[in-house]
Structures are given as structure tokens and as C-alpha cells.
Amino acid sequence: MFDLSRSMHNLPRTNKPLRVAVRQLHWFKAAFHAHAVFCGEAMACNFAIDDVKLAGAFVRWLDSIDRQKPNERAERREFFQFAPSLVLRELVADMPIRAMCAPTGVDPKSPEAFWPEGYVATTFCLSVYAATMGQEFHMDVHVSQMVDDLRSWWSFRENATQDTDYAAGFFQMLLGNDPNWWMPSSFNARTRPVIDGPGAEPANSAE
């Protein structure tokens, strides 16, 4: 099982709130590099990072969240939970990391061995997300066991190759959520929990 706690503590320190630091390229880049080293040591695999592609993914992510940011403060926590799925979408769209060799420190049938680049990108997003939620909302994040399920990663890689929005939906599933597969990267189209009682909205309603 992915060690989320160790990965969170491996993130670079900052005097700023993480919600602010993650929106600054210098910290984002340092955090991604540190996570790649962390994963590389666990996998016995070195990674090369294309900082131009990484910066491009970062800029596209900022643009996406700025366009989708809700006006209602009541939706703040939900948006915090949604935003990292868009980071993964942008990383997968133009993968900025490349394994320099096959991982030898993990099970050959593990997700890490199957797609080391995708695994690093995904667990990076999980780590930053968990650290931010802990800081902002004092909330512990639980990752679905599918993070270790090779079949799920086969589906993730195959579908994200055809449509990068699938990456956003995959990330949401890792957090135990039910994505809106028609528009997994749209915050307003997200799947809502079923609410019993008069005036309840359908689970798949969109604003």
C-alpha cells in the first residue's frame, strides 16, 4: 500500500499555507522533484524530469482552477477536494517525468512497475492533497485500495491515453468519490451525494 504519511512528510517545507505554496511554481517544482526522488528510492529507479513540461502543466492547472473556482464559500472544501484531480489531468496530458530504467525494487506486477511515471504523478497529487486537507480542514485523507490494484491502473492508462479527462475521474475514485464520467474535469458537473427528503437533487445533477 502506498505510504501516504511518509510521502506527505517528504514535501518541501514552506512558511506559507500549502494552498498558497502549491500555486507558486518554485514550490510546485521543488515538491514534484522531491517526490520523484522519494519514489525513485523506493522503486530503485531514477527519473528524469522535463521542467518545461512540468511548468506547462502547472500553468494549465492554474488557469483551469481559476476558471472553475466557485463563488460560494460553502463549496470551498469540495473545490479543495476536486482541484488536485485537475493537476493529475494536466500531468498526464504531457507527462513531464520519464523512468530511466525499469523499477527493480518493486513487484513486477505492481502499478509502480507497470507505469512508474503515472504512479509518481498520481501519488504526488495525493500527497499534496492530503497535506493541504490536513492543514486547511484538519482532515485525514483515506486512499482507496485501488491505488494498489494493477487492473485499475491498466484501465487508467488506456483510457487516459484516449481522453486525459479520465485522469481526473481516476483521481476522484482514489478518494472514494463517484466521478461524473461525462465531464470528470468539470467542478459544476461533479456527482453529488444522494440527499433523502423533499427537494432532494438527483445524484448526477449538475449546476
Give the model confidence (pLDDT) of 23-77 as tens digits: 999 999 999 999 999 999 999 999 999 999 999 999 999 999 999 999 898 899 9
What pLDDT shows up at residue 73?
87
Listed residue (84, 176, 78, 79) closest to 122, CA to CA: 84
Residues of the chain with pLDDT below 70 are 1, 192-207
Q: Are 126 and 88 in contact (CB under 8 A)?
A: no
Residue ranges in 101-184 assigned as alpha helix (H): 111-114, 116-137, 150-162, 165-174
Enclosing H/E stretch for 34: helix 25-43
Q: At what angle do helices 51-68 and 76-93 cross, to 10 degrees?
A: 150
Task: State pTM to two decimals.
Answer: 0.90
